[in-house]
Structure 1
């Protein structure tokens, strides 16, 4: 059965995409731990991160690094967080977010009521930052 992320990737469910390529996508999480929290997801449906083939994991990690650079610049973040939790959705995803303290790494403290407007604004801010860093070819104009 396809994961919720597969439905988002396929356009069956809405997503605020900031990156799309043939191997991976990145979109805003609807429950951010900090503003600017992005999920980087391989198009392949793989549940456990240690089971992904190395070339795909290398690509997904590289996308996460580019997203991290853009989010750090867009939010003037002191540090960037990167987490692979894998408990929420059975489809590998890397959490990339501005980290202001160790509390930023606690997914149980995520904002469960983030407004659609704040998520739209964050997505556009990150898209603009990705373009400014020269990654525009993989940045969609909108979701």
Structure 2
């Protein structure tokens, strides 16, 4: 069985998904349904600021503060036409930043089943994971 998966990159200041998936040259299009995500495969769609703003052609950083970052994340959730998804994988920056808070607060009322935190095994990454797990436990409304 093929699952339909959406991959939403909320690491606004350091988007890595376009590079990792070979989507740097892909353009995002607007349709009657909303923004069309980039398709890696027929069952894997991705959305990232790296697909909207040309970050590969410049060494200029994305310098956005909370409200602008939060607005884009909400747009990714509301204005992207994901279609019917079995899973939505959300890539966030490490820790408990605005991006993580906005994503959880925006999804908490959707019937989300849970969260999986993936990282590299280095001790510094594990510190971020422990903080992330504690963050999720604190914002869980149940």
Same fold (TM over 0.5): no
Higher helix fraction: Structure 1 or Structure 2? 1
Give me the TM-score of the superposition, normalised by structure 1. Answer: 0.32
Q: Which has the greater radius of gyration?
A: 2
Give me the TM-score of the superposition, normalised by structure 2. Answer: 0.32
